[in-house]
Amino acid sequence: MQNKVIIPIIITTIAALLLLIVALFLSSVIRRVYKERKYRRLDRLKNAFDKKIRESLESGTMMSMQRELLAPPNSDTWRAIEDVLLNMTSEEQYRAEVIKLLSTLGYISFHEKQLKIRNVQVRALSVDRLGRMNSDASVPKLVDLLDERNPEIVSVVVRSLSRIGGQTALNAIVERLPVILDRSIVTRKAMGMALQAFGADAIPLLVEQKTGRDNLWVMSCILDILSRLPADPRSVRLANEHLSSTNVEVRSKALKVLGRAENIRMADNLPDLILPLLRDPVWFVRLQAIRSIRALGNKAAMASIKKLIFDENWRVRNEAVQAFTSLGESSLDIFLEILKGTDRYAKDSICEEIERTNFSGQLIKNLNASDRGIQKKSRQVLEIMCSLGFSTPLSEFLARDGDETEKELIRSMMKTEPVA
């Protein structure tokens, strides 16, 4: 009796589940078909309007065509026209007229109204669209959104304001910089990219930013942004002030500012300031110090980098070697001294960087140099590299077309023991 009751229930349950699965599958198929048709229709509309709008702009008949471009908001036609116009804002010859057209057709006012909607995705989309429309008139409304708590909205606003540009947008972003930087990683990245877009105009505001100046994290971010902006003596002065900071990020970013050749030429007594940082306990500070010394081009200071070829961190070792490869033949004595030593890590770093920076190509050319000293030292370096298993450049040289005499020289070198 019990089985007679349970079996129909099980059958009914299985049937219901199967019907549900079929219904979900059909629903998914229908949605996919609907979307594909919708996208195909949008593509057809975009192609048609792109052609019409371009022809109208080129013939100067846009005023008479504007009525054809009016459409109900959020309709397929509306979206197709908006996408076409947004894409055309990136084309210099059409930009000014297209931006006016976006305003005349109501796209700017529509998206400004959308800024008040509570849905985050809708607001973010409208913020992005206003930025792409280069709507100067929308800047005050966008600036108000910088005080939002939602990092997604703030990030999109910062990007849009940077696209629009202008002093008002720049002032608003820098004024809120400490708060925005403190919110999330997303807003920090957006801030850095946005201020880069403002270029040199951002430098005085960043240097003079007083709010949160004592916040070491904020200072490290300011220095990081300055390191990616054009060279400027004000950036150099600010970096100099923070080379001896107790905060590792600040020291590192200050060096990053000074690591640019254009900036480093503006500073006084830099070798004296940077050299102590070659002994910094944190590896990436030592790394930045090497880059700054390299940019400085001071040979006396370069000699101090030699010790870092023996550094415990492989990135520092490789950076030190790379700095010496930039000296050309002047580095051969230093390389040979270390290659003939016993520190395998240091020797491997030299060999890796010689291959990676293609300094090996210069060494191969030196085998036929008129200067016998350079010829001999280059051969010694290559032979030691071969003995350590770094023979790829020589093998590649043999695989290319070239003088057989030179190739025979390379073959013999790869067979012999390193010259002492």
Which CATH number do you get for residue 115?
A: 1.25.10.10
Looking at residue 158, its pLDDT comes to: 92
* Contacts for 183 with CB less than 8 Å, ≥ 6 apart: 151, 154
Q: Looking at the domain assignment, is residue 179 inside a domain?
A: yes
pLDDT (tens, 9 = 90+) of the chain, 420 residues, equals 555 667 777 777 887 787 878 777 777 777 777 677 777 888 898 999 899 998 888 888 888 888 888 889 888 899 999 999 999 988 888 888 999 999 999 999 999 999 998 899 999 999 999 999 999 999 999 999 999 888 889 999 999 999 999 999 999 998 888 888 777 777 777 888 888 889 999 999 999 887 666 788 888 888 999 988 888 888 888 988 888 888 999 999 998 888 776 666 666 666 677 888 888 999 989 998 888 888 777 677 788 888 898 899 999 988 998 888 888 888 888 899 999 888 888 898 888 888 888 888 888 888 878 888 888 888 888 888 888 888 777 777 666 665 666 667 667 666 655 444
Q: Looking at the domain assignment, is residue 105 inside a domain?
A: yes
Dihedrals phi, psi of 227, to nearest 5 degrees = -65, -20
Q: Among residues 164, 192, 211, which one ends one of the domains?
A: 211
Q: Looking at the domain assignment, is residue 164 inside a domain?
A: yes
* Contacts for 76 with CB less than 8 Å, ≥ 6 apart: 38, 41, 42, 45
Looking at residue 159, its pLDDT comes to: 92
212 touches 245 (CB < 8 A): no
Looking at residue 419, its pLDDT comes to: 44
Q: Which domain holds residue 86?
A: 72-211
Q: Looking at the domain assignment, is residue 393 inside a domain?
A: yes
Detail the DSSP E strand segments found in 101-198. none
Q: Looking at the domain assignment, is residue 235 inside a domain?
A: no
Q: Looking at the domain assignment, is residue 409 inside a domain?
A: yes
Q: Among residues 211, 230, 258, which one ends one of the domains?
A: 211
Q: Looking at the domain assignment, is residue 48 inside a domain?
A: no
pTM over 0.85: no
User: How many Cα atoms occupy the beta-carbon half-sphere of 420 within 13 Å?
Assistant: 0
Looking at residue 420, its pLDDT comes to: 43
* Exposure string for 356-376, b = 16+ CB within 10 A, e = fewer: eeebbeebbebbebeeeebeb
Q: Looking at the domain assignment, is residue 335 inside a domain?
A: yes
Q: Among residues 174, 195, 211, which one ends one of the domains?
A: 211
Give pLDDT tens digits for 118-143. Answer: 899 999 999 999 999 999 999 999 99
Q: What angle do CA 8, 14, 20 make, to 5 degrees?
A: 135
Distances (CA, A) of 65 to 102, 105, 274, 320: 14, 11, 65, 65
If you search the block for the tokens 């990092």, which residue do you land on? 151
The rounded distance, in Å, linking the Cα atoms of 200 and 205 is 10
Number of domains composing the chain: 2
